Structure 1
Amino acid sequence: MAAIIQGDKTMFHPIRSILVAVLAMAGLAAPPARADINVGVTLSLTGPAASLGMPAKRAIDLLPKEVAGQKLNFILLDDTSDPSVSVRNFRRLVDEHKVDVVMGSSVTPSTIALVDIAAETKVPLMSLAASARIVEPQDEKRRWALKAIQNENLRPVAQDFIKRYEAAYGPNSASIFSANVWDAGLVLRAAIPAALGKGKPGTEAFRTALRDALESTSGVVTTQGVTTMSRTDHVGYDKRAAVLVQIQNGVWKYLK
């Protein structure tokens, strides 16, 4: 029976005890509370690559903060354009902030340095750098690395992104570096619902399910093309991502 404290006396109330027991059993039967999805981000906000990192940071601020009814928390760290700091950031995001996925970094050296740690910690890495070496050749380590970056393409999705970005930061402020973040967000949002059915955010089961869902995304339209990933292709773009452009009067023009 549950004890009831009244002044300096302890009494036992049988009805209260039954209510407490029933509530406890109900709590055990109820579904577990949904945990937030923590998304780590390491970008070059200072140092030589800051001109790439700052537009990406602004795009992070525009990403939706909820997917499939699940809250997304973005934790952003500056790697100062230094691969060693990028590595420390990844570990800090995993150890301190318990992230389920990491986006970054802004340049290839700082991103390649993260591939081994992503595999070691079993936390998916969504590259914002362009080098094929980050995801190729596919092996057990690179299976944890994916990227949604290809050639720029002015599709409806791209037009929507440019409209949002320039509304927030001014005319002609959008760039490929901010688009890379937006595209990573599009692919991540497409993968999260499938992963939620196989594990709770914050657990290794969820992170593994998220990796599997990311490499199973199909027909995701980004600002740069249409991506369909697989176990052996962690980029996923086909020939629709290739376009011809010309510089006319100092401005890029797409050739149809």
Structure 2
Amino acid sequence: MKTTLTILATGVLFGTVAAPALADITVGVSLPLTGPASGLGIPTRNGISLWPETIGGEKVKLIILDDASDSTQSSKNGRRLITDEAVDVIVGSTATPASAALAEVASELKTPQISTSPVELPEAKGEWTFRVAQSTQLMANAVAEHMKRAGIKTYAYLGYSDAYGESWFKAMTAAANQAGLQSVATERFARADTTVTAQALKIMAARPDAVLLGASGSGAAMPHKAMIERGYKGKIYQTHGAASRDLIRIGGKDVEGSFVVAGLAIMPEGLPNEHPSKKLATEFVDRYEKQFGAGTRNQFASHGYDAYLVLNQVVPQALKKAKPGTPEFRAALKEALESTKGIPITQGVIRFTPKDHFGLEDNARVMLTVQNGNWKPVAP
């Protein structure tokens, strides 16, 4: 990596630091590099470290801040990046609550945000936020469809008591109703909790055919193990926030046979050759694992890299209308993002519109199972 890179308030360096801030495009990044969500933020940063030295043919300067998995810090980072550093666009956060806080600042200060989480926002606060992560509803539909095909009639939900957990609860409720599935129990826990014994016992008492765990990163393993340790024999599903090796590493034998809905970069080898993302995803995984080690591929790293793939397509369009470092350029970037005709990324094909700031479709997801300590695609 030759990208001009500035790391502020993180204490973490990566890549090759090129000299002076001579970049034409300034990108601010705010990620959870410490705290409970660091298992999401660090891989995202690693994915960003594979960006080339230019975006859309222009030199780029990266300024990376740690939001410490905290919404208040994320908001402060956003203001600092926009008002003090005059960034043209913000990337992050991978933690959904922190991304929501960043979105409020992006909306207020009219700066495009490329969110690396599937953050759900009120319409008035989401005008400047675009996601490279699959929407929660898109992924929940896949879970409900798989449950229905597996003959499941009843399910329980055990998820985070925050924005990520709530978005999955709402999306799964809608998808389950459509699929004719009955919810028999709903329980929540905080990201920082170290046990969910009480919640697991209540779910066991409801005797659901399947359980969906609405958690992410390494935090997804704890409730999974709790259900297995208490003798649960039904099917267990995980969300795309759990699609990392942390689940397998921490969960061990307890997560064998579970199902995880995920993005394409987890197992690009299983994609058909004609899939528009197969080449991109395969090349990304090869580069990533060469840099960070075999088996390190994950959902979050690919989101970090996908932000580059999107910006690389829209920056040239914005440059036709304004110069970087100006409000006019930020507005032109937003307009260019909303006019995409189909940008292939590692996770699918993005088609943002003024009314759709997610842009990914059914071919941007895959159902995986854990078999012998590794991922295995589940046949459609």
Answer yes or no: same fold by TM over 0.5: yes
Offset from partner CA, 1:82-110 (integer Å, 9 cap, x none):
11000011111111211000011121110
Aligned to 1:69: 57
Contact 2:32 2:40 (C-alpha < 8 Å) held by counterparts: yes
Which of 108, 113, 127 is the aligned partner of 1:120? 108
Bigger Rg, which one: 1
Aligned to 1:230: 353
Which of 132, 138, 142 is the aligned partner of 2:126? 142
Which amino acid in 2 is paired with 1:43? L
Aligned residue for 2:60, secondary structure, equals strand
Aligned to 1:5: none
Which amino acid in 1 is paired with 2:28? G
Contact 2:55 2:308 (C-alpha < 8 Å) held by counterparts: no
Cα distance between partner residues in 2 of 1:152 and 1:73? 28
Cα distance between partner residues in 1 of 2:67 and 2:35? 9
Cα distance between partner residues in 2 of 1:124 and 1:68? 16
Cα distance between partner residues in 1 of 2:371 and 2:56? 43
Cα distance between partner residues in 1 of 2:334 and 2:76? 22
Aligned residue for 1:48, secondary structure, equals coil
Aligned to 2:292: 169
Aligned to 1:29: none
Which of 235, 252, 263 is the aligned partner of 1:152? 263
Which of 209, 216, 222 is the aligned partner of 2:339? 216
Structure 1 residue 249 displacement after superposition: 2.1
Which amino acid in 2 is paired with 1:248? Q
Which amino acid in 2 is paired with 1:141? K
Aligned to 1:87: 75
Which amino acid in 2 is paired with 1:55? P
Aligned to 1:16: none
Q: What is the TM-score with the length of structure 1 in the denominator?
A: 0.81
Structure 1 residue 35 displacement after superposition: 6.6
Aligned residue for 1:245, secondary structure, equals strand
Cα distance between partner residues in 2 of 1:192 and 1:43? 22
Cα distance between partner residues in 2 of 1:64 and 1:112? 28
Contact 1:50 1:81 (C-alpha < 8 Å) held by counterparts: yes
User: Where does structure 2 lack aligned partners over 5 or more consecutive residues?
Assistant: 1-21, 135-261, 269-277
Aligned residue for 1:143, secondary structure, equals coil
Pair 1:187-2:298 in alignment: no
Cα distance between partner residues in 2 of 1:167 and 1:97? 33
Structure 1 residue 248 displacement after superposition: 2.7
Cα distance between partner residues in 2 of 1:35 and 1:246? 44
Cα distance between partner residues in 1 of 2:105 and 2:32? 18
Offset from partner CA, 1:13-57 (integer Å, 9 cap, x none):
xxxxxxxxxxxxxxxxxxxxx971100000111111111111111
User: Where does structure 1 lack aligned partners over 5 or more consecutive residues?
Assistant: 1-33
CA RMSD of aligned residues (A): 1.6
Q: What is the TM-score with the length of structure 2 in the denominator?
A: 0.55
Cα distance between partner residues in 2 of 1:163 and 1:104? 24
Contact 2:25 2:55 (C-alpha < 8 Å) held by counterparts: no
Contact 1:187 1:217 (C-alpha < 8 Å) held by counterparts: no
Which amino acid in 2 is paired with 1:100? D
State the percentage of identical aligned residues. 42
Cα distance between partner residues in 2 of 1:125 and 1:79? 15
Offset from partner CA, 1:143-183 (integer Å, 9 cap, x none):
10000112411222111111111111111122111111111
Alignment of 1:8-27 (within 5 A): none
Aligned to 1:44: 32
Pair 1:108-2:108 in alignment: no
Cα distance between partner residues in 2 of 1:243 and 1:88? 36
Aligned to 1:17: none
Which amino acid in 1 is paired with 2:263? E
Which amino acid in 1 is paired with 2:283? D
Structure 1 residue 140 displacement after superposition: 4.4
Cα distance between partner residues in 1 of 2:369 and 2:97? 30
Aligned residue for 2:283, secondary structure, equals helix
Change in CA separation of 1:163 and 1:56 when aligned onto 2, cut-off 3 Å:
same
Aligned residue for 1:200, secondary structure, equals coil
